[in-house]
A and B are shown apart, each in its own frame.
Chain A
Amino acid sequence: MVRIIQSRDLNPVPAGGWETNVATAFDDVFVTGNWFGAYSRDGGSSWVKVNPKGLQPETYVKFCDQRVLYIPQINRFAWVILANTEGGPITLAISEPARLRDSSGRSWVRYHIWPRTVRQEEQSFDFPDISFGDSYLYLTSNIGPRGMIARFPLGELAQAATVNMQYYILPQTWICPVQSTGAKGFFGAHTDVSKMRVWSWAEPASAHIMSAEFPIATIRTEDWVVDLPSEQWFVPDHSPDNEIIGAARLRNELWFAWMEARRVAGHPEARVFPFPHINTAVVSATSLALLRQERIWSSKAAYGWPVLTANDRDVALLCVYGGGQIQGGAELCVGLLTSPRQLQLVTSGNLGASGWHYMGVRPAYLSTTAFAAVGYNRRLLPVPENISRPRYVVFERD
């Protein structure tokens, strides 16, 4: 069993609550969504809204793709936000728990990373993501038709000083950083429907990035639609997404997770799964070789949007589950993938769809056993109550 320590909607409810992310430092909790920030100083019991708009340069009016995490070794929160996707910067904001408590979550320092910072003046960033290792904060992003892997020394970020950023521009897009990554940064991406590539970047400043590509079971890319009783779709049919969106390291294992549809395109002999579902690849952190794949599927309902994190014992999962025989919408599901696998629903009564690229799960620092997650509810209530309600969940292995 998964023990649910806490599960409640954010109140007041911030609008624009999809693409959620969360970071916790004991009682200080910071949550982001596509169009909001929110802070709690009492472990999630009460919340105040934070407007992310001020993080951006004044000339940019739109923002999205927010990620946040807490870095215990420097006692800092790190928050990235993408400004207007056409040539705008990724803003990296840093704060610490005491500063957030004193300011109701509103006081930060900010760095801007522009396309010109990485000599890509004609391109735009998209889909940034972050993780941290022993000595660096890692940032990945699409940059035009290529991908970026960058890192920032944690010591310089903690001092709010000039930061010496290192980066690679690579031919691959949709590179997902591995969480809880230790003394090396690790990253993964699919390169075609039957292959993935993993990168490792040791932490000495002079180290080169290394990579390995290997075959995986062919990804099911066809037949996504799951009808819900509300006549919404579990997965938006127009935006099927097979990219790796969850990755975490547990000791010598790198876990990568993504969504698959039902069928392999062009191969009618391939097994057809009853619903879209989650697949994983477990890779050796030492040899960068595939160890095994573990699929999370059901004959009753669909799974989607897997995000991962890890502590010293477990790889934790946040995803959605619904449709099919259960006659429901997209419910939030948390779990532990490490054997014995345990999955637990944490919402009910969601009739609407879910998704939009990612959700958020992190270790619930300073606990060594608990994890914090934020997804969102879609209850399909009458207007004006018909909004995405972010749900904050804390859980651990029972």
Chain B
Amino acid sequence: MSSFLVRVIIIVLALLGISAFLLYRRRQHPHAEAGEDVGRGPDSATLAAPDAVELGADIPPRPPVEKWDDQSKRRKLPPGEYRAAADEPETDPEPLS
């Protein structure tokens, strides 16, 4: 048997082996996903069938804006280890034509 034929057989066997391994892994982990599993399934709730509603066409005056921007509901991002930003070109929009 020529050395060329031996090499071809070795390559074919190697490819078959790799394919079989990948198939085995897929069967072992059918839903393999990137990232960490949160370790539990979702909770569930049932929403009753909806009721129909016919809305009005007149919009009432709104309350003062000050009441809506409650700063206690905002957050300041926690500190973290500094990481420099890459240099990137600036962009300006095309003016209104």
Contact = CB atoms under 8 A, between A and B. Distances in A.
Interface residues of A, number: 114
Interface stretch (B2-10, B12-20, B21-29, B82-90): B82-90
Q: Which of B46, B49, B69, B91 has the most CB of A within 10 A?
A: B91
A235 B31 CA distance: 45
A210 B77 CA distance: 23
Contacts of B50: 94, 109-111, 160
Given A54-B54, A167-B45, A168-B42, A241 B74 contact: yes
Contacts of A93: 53
B55 interface: yes
A161 B58 contact: no
A380 interface: no
A48 B60 CA distance: 15
Nearest to B61: A15
A118 interface: yes
Contacts of A119: 43
Interface string A287-302: 1110001111111110
B1 interface: no
Contacts of A202: 31, 33
Contacts of A208: 37-42
Given A110-B51, A297-B90, A341-B91, A286 B83 contact: no
Interface of B: 31, 33-63, 68-71, 73-86, 88, 90-96
Interface of A: 1-2, 14-16, 34-37, 48-55, 62, 64, 85, 93-94, 103-113, 117-119, 126, 142, 152, 160-170, 173-174, 190-195, 198-200, 202, 204, 206-212, 215-219, 221, 236, 238-239, 241-242, 264-267, 270-271, 284, 286-289, 293-301, 321, 331, 333, 335, 341-348, 356
